[in-house]
Amino acid sequence: MIRYTENKIRKVVETQKAYFRTNETLDVDFRIAQLKKLKKAILDYEERIEHALKEDLNRADFETYLCDIGPTIMEINETIKGLRKWAKPEKHFSGLINFPSIFTHVYKVPYGTTLIISPYNFPIVLSLGVLAAAIAGGNTAVIKVSSKSKSSSEVLEDLIFDTFDEKYVTVITGGHEVADMCLEQKFDKIFYTGSPKVAKHVLAKAAENLIPVALELGGETGNWCIIRSDADIKDAARKIAFFKILNAGQICININQVAVADDIADEFVEELEKQFEKQIGKYPDNNIDYPKLISKQAYEKCASDVERYRKKVVYGGFGDKENRRYVPTILYPININDDIVCKENFCPILPVVKYKDEEVDELLDTIKDREKALALYLFTKDMNWANETMQTMQYGGGCINEVCLQMTVKGVPFNGTGHSGMGAYHGEWGFREFSHPQTVLTGSNKFNLSLREHPYKIYKKSIIKLLER
């Protein structure tokens, strides 16, 4: 990997800015061609990507395709299909008040040179998926990849260098100090995926140069899953177990804690234990496909949190330190105010909180008092309650009687709010995120009315009031 200095990064940015000013990236045909090149590169690198994610996270090839390669290809396909329509200028009637200036256009203009800071947990889709949106918008891009997912970052570096000229798209590797060097540059747009803590630093640095920022963050005080008394317990347990096993819980939209109606809580926990064993067996003895935590520090943090709640462990509670694989662990019963419930558990720990079903409104009030989550999941047969709850709570996205599939739907945004993020992407939403809408009214030098000009007269005000109403 290349060793980056502030001077080298500055030259990369300057080179990209100079290239952007040639206007070559503005052409829609050019953008589509680059998206096709990106898609081909991902398919050509498929085996290397699978190997890299096996090295970094012990991902099974199936899981790598399901969560990283497949979604990125889908994102690119959707963007190629829709880009001509999305990029077309909008034409609006200017209104009688502006006569004879009849038409106003809204042009979708690229920001320019963009910085994409990607995380380790889904290193392909959360870098190249964002890159697809940046390309669609007509921008150049610098991708700062994670230093934690070393193998994946090496593959990304090679893939981008083999596919694009550095003046158009490039990858920068290194730790936090390199990221800070990037943030010192005058990019035209920053897209960051990661933690709220680091996001505050990104925003602060961007504010120095008034750079627009999109943030995709985690659930700082947790992504809740609420299971009502009338829920299908087996169905809920099966889906939650799958989700918590996936990437060993290292997922920003994963369930951080479960609130279960007290009359079914014991039964739910028993069923969840069965589902964990059914899906991955008695870890770590007989399942080589169960993912590992990204680093020794991540493993030790997970193990430390479990030890603090050792008396509440009803399933799991152990791991393979050498290989950084920690078994899915249920903590039960947990108080709603315990610290393990009031933070994001980016690991396979799952605290289970009991509540009285008739007091579900109080539970919702408690969740509302905390930071806004990236995801919310409900399991219930009461669809009226579920739909009302989903429309009155504030969060990024979610599901009713399902988990995580909101991520796979075409045409809808992925985004957070408050401490879970700002901005949105996926498909057309990504194109919009990386495009600046510019409004242009076309005037006329004939039939101009003098209503707006001095001297002001009573009849002019009467006409303007009539037109504006």
Q: Is 276 helix (H, G, I), strand (E, B) or coil?
A: helix
| Two structure tokens written together for 387 | 């739909």
The rounded distance, in Å, linking the Cα atoms of 270 and 278 is: 12
Whether 24 and 93 share a structural domain: yes
Q: Is residue 425 part of a domain?
A: no
The rounded distance, in Å, linking the Cα atoms of 93 and 95 is: 6
Locus of tokens 């409004």: 439
Whether 151 and 246 share a structural domain: no
CA-wise closest residue to 51 among 143, 127, 155, 157: 155
Q: Is residue 455 part of a domain?
A: no
Backbone angles phi, psi at 378, to 5 degrees: -125, 140
Within 10 angstroms of residue 304's Cβ, the number of other Cβ atoms is: 9
Structural domains of the chain, count: 2
Looking at the DSSP assignment, which residues form a beta bridge with residue 194? 217
Q: Is 435 helix (H, G, I), strand (E, B) or coil?
A: strand
Within 10 angstroms of residue 442's Cβ, the number of other Cβ atoms is: 10
At 132, which CATH number? 3.40.605.10
CA-wise closest residue to 449 among 464, 468, 469: 464
Whether 162 and 240 share a structural domain: no
- For the entire predicted model, the pTM comes to 0.96
Q: Which of 121-135, 298-312, 327-341, 454-468 has the lowest mean pLDDT?
A: 454-468
Whether 228 and 209 share a structural domain: no
- How do residues 360-402 score in pLDDT, each as one tens digit? 999 999 999 999 999 999 999 999 999 999 999 999 999 999 9
Confidence of residue 95 (pLDDT cuts 50, 70, 90): confident
Q: Is residue 462 part of a domain?
A: no
Whether 336 and 193 share a structural domain: no
pLDDT averaged over every residue in the chain: 95
CA-wise closest residue to 259 among 229, 226, 228, 233: 226
Residue 285 confidence (pLDDT): 63
Is residue 224 within 8 Å of residue 376, measured between CB atoms?
yes
Whether 112 and 164 share a structural domain: yes
> Cis ω on the peptide bond leading into residue 196 (within 30° of 0)?
no
Residue 284 confidence (pLDDT): 65
Whether 181 and 34 share a structural domain: yes
Whether 161 and 35 share a structural domain: yes
Contacts of 71 (CB under 8 A, 6+ apart): 125, 129, 407, 408
* Helix/strand/coil percentages in the chain, nearest 5: 50, 20, 35
Backbone angles phi, psi at 436, to 5 degrees: -105, 120
| Two structure tokens written together for 209 | 């140069």
Whether 102 and 141 share a structural domain: yes
Whether 380 and 320 share a structural domain: yes
Contacts of 155 (CB under 8 A, 6+ apart): 45, 48, 49, 52
- How do residues 110-166 score in pLDDT, each as one tens digit? 999 999 999 999 999 999 999 999 999 999 999 999 999 999 999 999 999 999 999
| Residues labelled catalytic | 216, 252
Contacts of 221 (CB under 8 A, 6+ apart): 342, 343, 344, 370, 371, 373, 419
**Could you tell me the residue range of the domain that residue 184 belongs to?**
6-217+434-438
Residue 450 has pLDDT above 80, yes or no: no
Q: Is residue 428 part of a domain?
A: no
Q: Is residue 383 part of a domain?
A: yes
Residue 1 confidence (pLDDT): 59
Q: Is residue 45 part of a domain?
A: yes
Whether 39 and 113 share a structural domain: yes
Whether 120 and 153 share a structural domain: yes
Q: Is residue 133 part of a domain?
A: yes
CA-wise closest residue to 124 among 89, 158, 94, 93: 158
At 374, which CATH number? 3.40.309.10
Q: Is residue 458 part of a domain?
A: no
Residue 417 has pLDDT above 70, yes or no: yes
